[in-house]
Amino acid sequence: MFPISKAKAQVRAGFAQMLPSIAKHKIPKPAPTQSRAIPRSAAKGQNAVTPQFQFKSLRWRLLGSYLMVMVAIRVISNGVVYEFFAHSLYQQLNNRLLNLAQAAAHSLVAIKQDKDAVDQPAYRPLDGDGDLDIPWQNLSKPDQGVEWFGADKQRLAISGTLSPTFPLQEGFQTGEQGQIRTLTIPAYSYSQGQRQLEGYVRASESTESVEAVLTQLRWGSGVAGVLALGLIGVGGMWLTRQSMKPIEQSFQQLKQFTADASHELRSPLTAIKASVEVMQTHPERIHPADVEKLNAIASATSQMSRLVEDLLLLARTDATTAAPTREWTVIPLDELLEDVEERLEPNAEAQATTLKLELQKDIFVKGDASQLFRVFCNLLENALQYTPSGGTVTLSMSTDETWVVVSVEDTGIGIAPEHLPFIFDRLWRADKARTQRQEGSGLGLAIAQAIAQRHGGNITVRSELGVGSCFQVSLPIFS
């Protein structure tokens, strides 16, 4: 075995000098910049949004749900109260009509004998039958009316100010477009224990007073409802803010933990990687049985290092709301894409895949060249990875007014429709057919989407199983 104690001591000493500067490391806060709108074509297929937008959207959804529930409760309660009052008022009206009709029924026989008796001075002796004994000539109020009918339903006399025109019918009726409420009852005479129909009495009363009360109730309920809705809205906004604070604090703590953990893991991983590389530079001192073990350690360390770097990048992306545009440069997009194609051309040749370029000259974007290079490298590498031998991958450009769209289209295995909403989620992996890439971490597309959005753009995708996929990166053109 190769004596590595000296190498380890050197590595540890080197990192001991680096730790103070690493410990002081803080996530930079870039200067605020003006945000740029995402085009409609890009926003329509947007698969990922910033955490700040997600929390804001969640707050509005909670507020909307709260308002809908409270408005529904308010409307139902108002309806119940209104129906209760309306029923109560009309029940009182019905009782008045019943008392009036029963009192007027005593006068039917006298009116049948003398139709002009209704205009004579009021007089009625007590008969001791238990109902109202009042003069039938004064049976109605100004908004009431009484009519007497014979057994043949022909009107004999009328008293009062109301005279309904609709046909006679026993029981309660509402006519004249709901303005008059009537009650018709039969009147009988009794002789030697036999009941004989003498005719009918119809009592009428205007519903104007009842409807006036109900109109006031409706107006009052409407005004109170508007005021209540405003208060509910203000209270709902306060409640949603309060309810979201613990969630946002937990998310901030999780982001900080991810950033801290990723940063702290870099040092030991670098130490392990350096130790293994030092050992591999002296293969003659390594026991043959340990070669595969060292290779496995080196591979795992490299994969973990990439994962840590990706997590740290995403943590820095989440920690800022605006990109440091003062450090951006104007980039000729065709040259950048040619560099991407040159970088991955050997991969295409190795798996016998045709790589096509359809670029346009003099198209410029402003941003971080290394980050945009990473976006297109990731998309093109994925397209090559999931395209079988003999397939085709096309890297093309198109412009739409102030936007440029870079498309990476392949003839690969495609993505299932149920997986499309999740492909930009962090650490998400699809089915086994798309997880053949063992060194992947599941963060590539999430990082690409985050970079595109920080450059004022977006990534959309369309795919069909067995046909292929097309990823489109929309970026604002610099002019």
Q: What is the pLDDT of residues 218-266, one digit of tens each?
A: 999 899 989 988 998 898 888 888 888 888 777 777 667 766 776 677 7
Domains in the chain, start-ordered, CATH in brackets?
69-123+132-206 (3.30.450), 325-476 (3.30.565.10)
Does the pTM exceed 0.75?
no
Using the predicted structure, report yes or no on whether residue 5 has a pLDDT greater than 80: no
Q: 121-135, 163-177, 237-251, 375-389: which has the highest mean pLDDT?
A: 375-389
Per-residue pLDDT band for 270 (boundaries 50, 70, 90) equals confident
- Quickly state the pLDDT bin for 106 (edges 50, 70, 90): confident
Q: How confident is the model at residue 3 (pLDDT cuts 50, 70, 90)?
A: very low
The residue that leads in pLDDT, 159 or 342, is: 342
For residue 356, the model assigns a pLDDT of 92
pLDDT, residue 319, reads 60
345 pLDDT higher than 50: yes
pLDDT of residue 31: 36
Residue 32 has pLDDT above 50, yes or no: no
Selected residue with higher pLDDT from 272 and 204: 204
Please state which of the ranges 82-86, 429-433, 454-458 shows the lowest mean pLDDT: 429-433
Using pLDDT thresholds of 50, 70 and 90, give the confidence band for residue 469: very high
Lowest model confidence (mean pLDDT) among 103-117, 311-325, 329-343: 311-325
Between 157 and 135, name the one with better pLDDT.
157
**Predicted confidence (pLDDT) at residue 433 exceeds the cutoff of 70:** no
What is residue 473's predicted lDDT score, i.e. its pLDDT?
Answer: 94
Residue 398: its pLDDT value, please?
92
pLDDT bin (cut points 50, 70, 90) of residue 30 is very low
Q: Given a cut of 60, is residue 137 above it in pLDDT?
A: no
pLDDT reported for residue 185: 93
Query: Which range, of 228-232, 281-285, 319-323, averages the lowest pLDDT?
Result: 319-323
138-142, 255-259, 377-381, range with the lowest pLDDT: 138-142
Q: What is the pLDDT of residue 421?
A: 87
Pick the more confident residue, 399 or 48: 399
Residue 83: pLDDT band by 50, 70, 90 thresholds?
Answer: very high
Q: Does 471 score more than 90 pLDDT? A: yes
User: Is the Cβ–Cβ distance between 273 and 305 less than 8 Å?
Assistant: yes
pLDDT at position 39, please?
41
Average per-residue pLDDT for the chain: 78
Q: Does pLDDT of 40 surpass 80?
A: no
Position 314 pLDDT exceeds 80: no
Mean pLDDT confidence for 202-223? 91
